[in-house]
Amino acid sequence: MNALLVVDNPKRWSLDIPGVETISAGDYLTDRRYSDRRGAKVFNLCRSYRYQTTGYYVSLLAEARGHRPLPSIGTLQDLRSRRIVRSLSAELDERIQRLLKPLRSSSFELSIYFGQNLARRYDTLAQALFGLFPAPFLRAVFERLGDRWELRQVSLIGANEVPESHHAFIAEAAARHFTRGGAPRRRRAKARFDLAVLVDPAEEEPPSNQRALKRFERAADAVGLAVEFITREDAGRLAEFDALFIRETTAVNHHTFRIASRAEAEGLVVIDDPRSIIRCTNKVYLAELLERHDIATPKTLIVHRGNAAEVGEVCGFPCVLKAPDSAFSAGVIKVDDADALKPALERFFAGSDLVVAQAFTPTDFDWRVGVIDGRPLYVCRYHMAKRHWQVIRRDDSGNTAAEGGVDTLAVSEAPADIVRTAVRAANLIGDGLYGVDLKRIGRRAVVIEVNDNPSIDAGYEDRVMKDALYREIMGSLLRRIVARKRLDVENG
């Protein structure tokens, strides 16, 4: 195991963790044996992490050397911002209220050692906070306000602050962390790198079904990647991997974006990368981008309160209104006339200052072109749900009531202008994995949207390429990892 435990003074460090080398902060900062080591995981347990202290420089230089520090400089910065702490803690609100409700005190402190707490009942909360703020030792302070608990502060615990009575527990927690739950994870003999695949087992409409995930795993094994499926609770373990592949529906104001950003900061190859998530999940951005690069779209207007009266003139009726962060046909409605427009816009404006309006362009199906590395990968026709104008028809509760069928074509059999336009649009976003939706209007191929994290389900998108589809995507990840490693070596 290429792992270093960095402390101020190893002579005062009583914990011996098998397979982990304990060294002094001074040696780490000055000894060439450690600065020249490649790909080391650095667990920084210095007394202080304040700006320009030894602990701060351990994490800073670890990042400069291409090592993987815990905590990273990004985590240190996040912990200094009360706004970020409050924002991220909102993800945990339900768990905080449920776990702390029985307490009668007005405040509560939770000590977290490698994502664990001495009291097992708080383990899930400890793991979640460790995922938000990956650091070996954390202290979370909660306060009761009325009948609700609030997370007031998360801070780092210096190694010198740990009570001696906690040392035995820390040794066990560290051992579990380093061995991933008690059993050392063995790479398959031909596996060169580790790939984390982010999933949400509870998601009702995930981008890949279980059969597809199994095929991704087999394809990864075939190209030399050892796969581990992780959830948001494992965010604190990102530094253990070489790449992250997201198979959970993404959004900017969501843990998927935060995890993608953290993984990229840790030096992992990431699909979907944070920039792609930002660019694809906001329809306002896409509308502006496609127009600026002269890519054909339905007649489009970015609507605000000042130009709402222009919707009918620009788009006509009926027209389609889209929330900026709409996905999977949710947050998209058809407005039949001017009388229905005003109340519909008011509902949208309650959640966003900008709304996208487009001309209604009915077709029997939408084209979907999968693109990776700037080249077409698969082509599908998504047919509209029966007696509906969208691929998915939802009931009043927002649940899927009906869904249209899917045809899959070989790229060579698809209309050349559809494929060409899709690749051109995807390349404006980046070189990741995208699904470009298009319609044919008259003789023109027009782009409806570009999706990050496109659906790849066994039995649908893979009907033509079968297992080769999954190998292509895993092969792209492998090539990116190798290129990243080579660049790290070249940069010293």
Structural domains in the chain, CATH included, are 1-184 (no CATH), 193-272+476-490 (3.40.50.20), 299-359 (3.30.1490.20), 365-452 (3.30.470.20)
Q: Is 379 helix (H, G, I), strand (E, B) or coil?
A: strand
Q: Is the pTM of this model over 0.85?
A: no
Question: Could you please report the per-residue DSSP string of 109-137?
Answer: EEEEETTB-SSGGGHHHHHHHHHHS--SE
User: Which residue spans within 49-192 are E strands per DSSP?
Assistant: 68-70, 107-113, 137-145, 148-156
Amino acid code (one letter) for 226: A
Distance CA 246, CA 270 (A): 8
Q: In what order do the strands lie in the sheet with 68-70?
A: 21-24, 3-7, 41-44, 68-70
CA distance 28 to 26: 5
Cα R_g (the chain), whole angstroms: 25
Q: For every one of its 492 residues, what pLDDT tens digit does the chain have, with 9 covering 90 and above? A: 678 999 998 888 777 777 788 999 999 988 888 887 877 889 999 988 887 788 888 888 887 787 888 898 878 878 887 777 777 677 788 889 999 999 989 999 999 999 999 998 998 899 889 988 889 999 999 999 988 999 999 999 887 888 888 888 888 888 777 765 433 444 455 678 999 999 999 998 899 999 999 999 999 999 999 999 999 888 888 888 999 999 999 988 788 988 998 898 888 999 999 999 988 988 888 888 999 899 999 999 999 989 999 999 999 999 999 888 766 556 789 999 999 999 999 999 988 888 899 999 999 999 999 999 999 999 999 998 887 878 777 776 667 777 888 999 999 999 999 999 999 999 999 999 999 999 999 899 999 999 999 999 999 999 999 999 999 999 999 999 999 888 776 665
Tokens of 319: 């027209």
Distances (CA, A) of 278 to 252, 265, 342, 443: 6, 16, 29, 31
Are the C-beta atoms of 226 and 187 separated by less than 8 Å?
A: yes
Q: What CA–CA distances, in Å, run from 126 to 121, 406, 487?
A: 10, 43, 36
d(C-alpha 57, C-alpha 51), whole Å: 8
